[in-house]
Structure 1
């Protein structure tokens, strides 16, 4: 089993989530419908103990077989979560890891999500030795889809997933970033 590293970007530190992050997750994300509405596995209203239950599934697990979940921090302040999920999460791309993320609303619009995704993509390609990384976003989530497109993710498939907070199935766009496209983009930058 590998241990999650601390990843640094220009403004952010991505550190492994810990059990102590439960209250920050609940306060910043879980109690804000405008965050929860875009996450398929989160209840609304946010259930007591839901953050702790999530952390029980990601803290101390092998990221090569489960989820590598990082707290996004800015100057030591918790502002969101970014994760790379081991291959198998997306039926449409079973051999590719996938990424997911959310940023607290007060921290949106400053490029922090882009910076966190860029940082974790580099780590994800390196650690999973995969030819591609996938992601999915609600079809209506134009901001998230735009962020993924910015990094070269291309539409791959459509699917439906049940969204707990919305209590219905939601159309999702599955996107894929090929390693060759990622490396070509990095060489240009």
Structure 2
């Protein structure tokens, strides 16, 4: 089994998610509609036990075969999640790993998501030995789409996903990031 290592950025530590993170997931994401509405897998209202059920599917599993999930921490405090799903999540780009993330509302607007996403992209390119990475965001999630664009992701297609929080299908923009574009952007920074 391949384990996840800790990733460090200028301000953050991204560590492998743990069962003990369930309460923080619930408080920052599951019970805050302003966060939950953008995450297709979150139910609204929050369903008791869903954080624990999710964690059981990823903690201790091979992250390259299921999902590599990192707790984003700031000074040891859990502030969100960044994850890379193994290839197969997106019908349009089935051979690519897919990145996803969310940050608790109190921690939004400080660049933490960009910092975490960049570290996870670096990890994903090295771990999956892939030439591209995919992501998707709700069409009306302009902040997330802007972050992905800043990282170098380019529009690829449109898809729909069922949003449990919104209880309907939602248009999603599928984007793709070529390794060369990511590396060129990092060198220019």
- Establish whether TM, by shorter chain, passes 0.5: yes
Could you tell me how far apart the structure 2 residues matched to 1:127 and 1:15 are? 16
- State how many pairs are aligned: 189
Could you tell me how far apart the structure 2 residues matched to 1:90 and 1:64 are? 16
**SS in structure 1 at match of 2:181:** helix
Deviation at 1:183, TM superposition (A): 1.4
Could you tell me how far apart the structure 1 residues matched to 2:162 and 2:187 are? 38
Match of 1:120 in 2: 120
Deviation at 1:48, TM superposition (A): 0.2
Could you tell me how far apart the structure 1 residues matched to 2:77 and 2:68 are? 20
TM-score, normalised via structure 2 length: 0.99
Tell whether 2:121 aligns with 1:136.
Answer: no
Could you tell me how far apart the structure 2 residues matched to 1:136 and 1:21 are? 25
Match of 1:80 in 2: 80
Dislocated runs of 4+, deviation >6 Å:
none
* Unaligned stretches of 5+ residues in structure 1: none
* Unaligned stretches of 5+ residues in structure 2: none
Q: Which runs of structure 2 are paired with 1:57-68 in the superposition (5 Å)? A: 57-68=57-68
Could you tell me how far apart the structure 2 residues matched to 1:64 and 1:96 are? 12
Question: C-alpha deviations, 1:94-129, integer Å up to 9, x for none?
Answer: 111010000000000000000000111100000000
**SS in structure 2 at match of 1:92:** coil
